Amino acid sequence: MKRLALFRHAKSDWNDARLRDFDRPLNQRGRTGAALMGLHIRDYGMDWQRIIASPAVRVTQTIELGSEAAGHTPPVIWDRRIYLASSPTLMELLREQDEQADAIIMVGHNPGLEDLIFDLVPDDGKSPLRDEVEDKFPTAAFAVLELAIDAWSEIDDGCARLVHLMRPRDLDARLGPSLED
């Protein structure tokens, strides 16, 4: 079995219209959410061997702040293909991972991460967490999937169970939906 965590970047700043989308930093709420989720990821207790991540500024800041709060950073592989990628692209990138890592965190963007959950986790009515993701996979959300595979090259539609979902608002009500855009 392999484990895959999907961590959406924290809330980004839209105030500077001159910035390319790729270069948008986190806003203050995003900075708070990234640190809070970093602590949660640490406390989840999994030995994550690797992070694969989009190099977009909001993702790099999410990882930096989360890792700083957690006091630990697994090795990070930056891959531009994750930036605004579709689910099939993300799945192909996962198939390329070597077998030495049993637990990987992918940090990136929607709608790709959300669509990846929908592709990997069957819509069979047995996953209340999947139903929550259908409602919304907000910024800084963290989902853990258990994949019924022995090798990353075997990843395919329907091979996973969604076993954990945490959003910043679940840890701090001030980061809740009334503040979500």
Cross-strand partners of 107? 7, 53
Q: Do the beta carbons of residue 34 and residue 57 sit within 8 Å? A: no
> Can you tell me the mean pLDDT for 69-93?
95
Tens-place pLDDT, residues 23-36 = 999 999 999 999 99
Residue 73 banded pLDDT, cuts 50, 70, 90? confident
- Does residue 168 have a cis bond before it (omega within 30 degrees)? no
Cross-strand partners of 51? 76, 105
> Can you tell me the mean pLDDT for 14-23?
89
Q: Catalogue all structural domains in the chain, each as residue range(s) with its CATH number.
A: 2-143+154-179 (3.40.50.1240)
Q: Cα separations (Å) of 95 from 122, 128, 130, 162, 177? A: 19, 27, 22, 19, 35
Global pTM? 0.94
Which of 111, 113, 114, 100 has the alpha carbon at shortest distance from 150? 100
